[in-house]
Amino acid sequence: MSGREDKIVFFDIDGTLYDHSQTIPSSTVTAINELQNNGIHIAIATGRAPFMYKELRKQLGIQTYISFNGSYVIFNNNVIYKNPLETEKLKKLENEAIKNKHPMVFLDHNNHYANSKEHPFIKESIGSMKLHLPDYNPEFYHSEEVYQALIFCENDSEDLYISHHTHFDYVRWHQYSIDVLPNGGSKAKGVEILLDQLNIPVDNAYAFGDGLNDIEMLSYVGTGVAMGNGHKDAKEAANIVTNSVDDHGILIGLQKVGLL
């Protein structure tokens, strides 16, 4: 395929490629392999850091991906865009979080580090992704580029940050945790960058997602597909709703939009 006929499909990971046991259904693997054999571009678009899904990329043969909800974009294993959080503003945010006894985690492309040695909210939320828990290194972000931070707090506390630290955007991904992103950062921004890189029109872009951090992407692409297990707001943002991830949702969604 070439020129204006090229198509690309963006896939979220958690609740989209991965089911609730953090495994990828066999029908999803088969469907993605078929897309690749048909010359359709495949990309991952996730809130995760790259180190969190190395095995998935290897399993699916994917070298193009959007990490940190749009703040770190890779095309054919090369970095083409990065938008780190501003260190001084992050220090002010952390001071507020410490005052409120809300721990934080800071992430770059290789690892993640916490400013709290042990906290049940960190264990519960990051543990739900079956990932290793972050090591303790509260000064990590002082000297390294950080593309995303996490604040561990419940719903009734998040307005403390949304109202008083407006130089960041916030997206809740777990009942105990919110993502901290650069202003204007979203998966849609990463999608836009990759479409420009590949010279693919937005009408030829498809995206599959289930969560609140997928809403901008599902709205932006030509065809947004929400998973049956997705958040109601993601479903409202999408053009189509497919089956749940563990009920052949990817395969059936690709069939519904005519890609398979």
> Catalytic residues, which ones?
12
Q: If we measure between CA atoms, which residue out of 259, 186, 241 comes closest to residue 39?
A: 259
Q: What angle do CA 156, 158, 163 make, to 5 degrees?
A: 120
Q: What angle do CA 133, 129, 99 make, to 5 degrees?
A: 55
Dihedral of CA atoms 149, 155, 158, 162 in degrees, nearest 10, equals 100
